[in-house]
Amino acid sequence: MSEATQAALSQQYDTLTDRLRERLLAFVTDAFESLGSYRDADAALFVEHVLPAVLGAQQQIGSLTDAYLASMVADMFGGAAAPAGVVLDDALRGVAPEVVYTRPFASVWSALGEGKDMVDAVAAGRVRLRSIAETDMQLARTHAAQQTMRRGGAKFYRRRLSGPKNCALCVIASSQRYRVEKLMPIHPGCHCKPEPLPGDRDPGQILDEGLLKEAHDAIARDLGESDRGGRKPDYRNVIITREHGEIGPMLAVRRHEFTGPKDVPKPDDAPGTD
């Protein structure tokens, strides 16, 4: 497969997954905004209405990821590009999705309890809903990618930036290599995709010195620190991976804190973290 063919395949994958994500976000947002009220009964009806679409979209992005990466792995390691399918649990977070998708209503109730009007309260719920749905789509991508790359024999991968704009977290992380046995760290709003690296020899932690230097230069301008090597501040002191109790590995700025596995509510507990 030529570089041009790989690029075309990658672009097609991006287009299909972007459309799928946007359709799902539009569907759940419309369903949420069209509710007559936001009481417990409305929350139950909302979950019953949107959950099949959410779970279906997760399976679709899993299938698209499997087909895309099966072709990439076959090209790099030989063999037939035959996607064998992936198995995605409905509860990728380890928490029942019925619980997760009531959390936007908890945001509405909390905002009302703080004295905000209904318009602002619903807006807070909508923001949380979209964040949850986007994260679930990205979780489906990363879990499917890990299965396909393992099956194809890939040992290492990188995160490939997607779209015309990417945050500093993703830009710096994209210059590093990752091991297939570890899920790709994500963050809210992340659209990066895992891409296998050819061969089974460790290529080293840093894959793109130039990109890393550019990112550090940009950070240095903001922080007022720089050096000619472009390695101050060290990326390990700026961007790290933390283990989120539900989502798994997440890219984070060192000062950020996340819930741990013990902090995640059980399915019958009150809605908690995003």
Asked if the structure places residue 274 within a domain, the reply is no
Domain extent, residue 211, equals 3-263
CA 107 to chain centre: 22
pLDDT digits (tens, 9 = 90+) for 176-209: 888 999 888 777 777 888 888 888 888 787 777 7
Is 229 exposed, middle or buried, given 0-12, 13-18 or 19+ CB atoms closer than 10 A? exposed
Asked if the structure places residue 47 within a domain, the reply is yes
Asked if the structure places residue 113 within a domain, the reply is yes
Is 257's pLDDT higher than 50? no
Q: What mean pLDDT is predicted for residues 224-237?
A: 46
Instruction: Give the residue, 260 or 170, on which the prediction is more confident.
Output: 170
pLDDT digits (tens, 9 = 90+) for 42-92: 999 999 999 999 999 999 999 999 999 999 888 887 776 677 889 999 999
Q: What mean pLDDT is predicted for residues 228-235?
A: 44
Model pLDDT, residue 260: 42
Is 36's pLDDT higher than 80? yes
Asked if the structure places residue 99 within a domain, the reply is yes
Instruction: Give the residue, 116 or 238, on which the prediction is more confident.
Output: 116
Asked if the structure places residue 124 within a domain, the reply is yes
Model pLDDT, residue 129: 97
Query: Looking at the chain, how many residues does it have?
Result: 274
Q: How many domains does the chain have?
A: 1
pLDDT digits (tens, 9 = 90+) for 138-178: 999 999 999 999 988 889 998 888 766 667 777 777 888 88
Whether cis (ω within 30° of 0) applies to the bond prior to 203 is: no
Asked if the structure places residue 268 within a domain, the reply is no
Distance CA(256)–CA(59), nearest Å, equals: 31
Asked if the structure places residue 270 within a domain, the reply is no
Residues of 251-270 as b/e, b for ≥16 C-beta within 10 angstroms? bbeeeeeebeeeebeeeeee
Model confidence, pTM: 0.79
